[in-house]
Amino acid sequence: MEIRAEAKHIRQSPRKTRLVADIIRGENALGALDYLRFVHKEAAKPITKLLVSVLANAEHNFKLKKENLYIKTITIDGGPMLKRSMPRAFGRATPIRKRSCHIIMILDERIVKEPAETAKEIKKKELKLAEKIKKVNKIK
């Protein structure tokens, strides 16, 4: 089951935010929180906040365990730009684009599989079944 959350109008350049998003893409959700705690980028704060939010949604709304969740996709799209100008030499003005971004995060549940049985365990089970079958056949 996919759980989706969005953070819109984050006043951070999408290019800088993607650097942090690339680190945690595909990681276990709780492990990604640990990564984000030690990343020295300003973009780690809104991504951490969004990840905590989507984990809370998964746990509260869908009754999923945090340990089984992983970050399936995280996309950083460009948001609206604030256009400003800066005075320069000879009375000119140059444009400044203050960028923003939208972050979309989708978590999915990773199904934990039991480890495969070893050949010895399979043989033991077969022997026990064979003994039970012999006992049943002797009774008849």
Over residues 3-43, the pLDDT tens digits come to: 999 999 999 999 999 999 999 999 999 999 999 999 999 99
**What's the pTM value of the predicted model, to 2 decimals?**
0.77
CB-CB contact of 32 with 24 (8 Å): yes
pLDDT at 118 over 80: no
The residue extents of the domains of the chain are 3-114
Q: Which CATH architecture has domain 3-114?
A: Alpha-Beta Complex (3.90)
Residue 91 — φ and ψ, nearest 5°? Answer: 75, 15
CB-CB contact of 97 with 91 (8 Å): no
- CA–CA separation, 27 and 53 (whole Å): 17
Write down the H helix ranges in 11-73: 14-24, 29-37, 44-62
Three-class secondary structure of residue 123 per DSSP: helix
Half-sphere exposure of 139 (CA within 13 A, CB side): 6
